[in-house]
Structure 1
Amino acid sequence: MSRDLDPTRRHLIALIAGHSSVGNEAQADAARAELRAHNLEVQIQKMVNSAPPLTDAQKSRIAVLLLASPESNGAGS
């Protein structure tokens, strides 16, 4: 795997493996969702760290995207 495994990512992957190995797919699915959220957070942090300074209006538009439900921002279609 090319990505560095931070402790949180490593823990979540282990949870998925453990739950899957004993047939607890509900818990494995919950851990998968948590892993997706963690991966998204890591990527957003990298983008924020490398972005030029943003205006308050730009920050507000980005915040709306992050706070909106998938149905309201078109991602669910």
Structure 2
Amino acid sequence: MVSHSGLITVMEKACRKAGPRLRRDFNEVSQLQVSRKGPADFVSMADKRAEETLIEELRHARPDWGMLVEERGVIEGD
């Protein structure tokens, strides 16, 4: 049996919550809303929604932790 730390469990839960929406969005790739961040650098609404889900779950579990995330950048901890 594999034993996970509490942190791995929190991260896995966050990813599993974001996953179904990402699968749904990318199965409808023709309708995916994409915008340009910079030269050859794109972001989709699916990316933003997934990031928000991950932030929400991780902040709920570890509100005092700061984060560095791709789309929003630095998020200060409490």
Which band: TM-score by shorter chain? 0.3 to 0.5
Q: TM-score, normalised by structure 2?
A: 0.42
Q: Relative contact order (C-alpha < 8 Å, sep 6+): which is higher? A: 2
Task: Identify, as 1 or 2, the structure richer in strand.
Answer: 2
Task: Identify, as 1 or 2, the structure richer in helix.
Answer: 1
